[in-house]
Amino acid sequence: MIKKTYMKNTSFICLFFSIFLINDTLIYAQGKKIIRKFNIRVQIEIVKEGNISYKSEERLYDANGNEIQFIKFNKDGGIKKKVISKYDKNNNLIEQQEYEGNQLVRKKIYTYNKYDEKISEITYDANNQIVRKEIFTYNDKGLKSEKKVYDKNDNLIQVHTYNYYTKSTNEK
């Protein structure tokens, strides 16, 4: 029993290392900094269950380390979910298209102010109708201070306020 479990884990570990070992450096699912440093363009996650292995996820990156495509696969290899992302020249996410299988289910459009702070996130359904809108405001220090959420009829449904405190004082 121990030998069998060890062998199953060893094959998984070997598979893991073969995908994420770059220049003798172990790479886990990382942020943009590591993606850029190692010039990673594709990350594939393989799942092994017993004697069966399958591709679970695939992520594509641009030269700036931005995830431009994410695909979640079914065990049979079919596409379960796909997200295609677009960025502006400042590497701000400006659009995401979300698919279930090959069917577009929603699209999100993001806008930013001159300081690259996200000021809106608008979600559209497959028929290009607005289903949700979020508007963000920032304080004079550039910290997010408020998020207002609107429904498809432009009715305000939530207001989130953000307060920040330093460790040494309870002043805002």
- pLDDT surpassing 90 at residue 162: yes
Q: State the average pLDDT over residues 79-85.
A: 97
Average pLDDT, the chain: 85
Of residues 119 and 2, the one with the higher pLDDT is 119
- pLDDT surpassing 80 at residue 26: no
Inter-CA distances, 134 with 125, 165, 167, Å: 15, 24, 30
**Which pLDDT band holds residue 169 (cuts at 50, 70, 90)?**
low
Phi-psi region of 140 (alpha: psi -120 to 50; beta: other; left: phi over 0): alpha
Strands 156-161 and 52-61 turn out to be unpaired
| Domain range summary for the chain, segments of one domain joined by + | 28-106, 113-172
Q: State the average pLDDT over residues 33-48.
A: 93
Could you tell me the two tokens for 38?
């190692």
Q: State the average pLDDT over residues 26-32.
A: 59
Q: State the average pLDDT over residues 41-67.
A: 95
Which regions of 40-168 does DSSP assign to beta strands (E)?
Answer: 42-49, 52-61, 67-73, 79-87, 93-100, 103-112, 118-125, 130-138, 144-151, 156-161
List the alpha helices (DSSP H) in the chain. 2-20, 32-37
- pLDDT surpassing 70 at residue 171: no
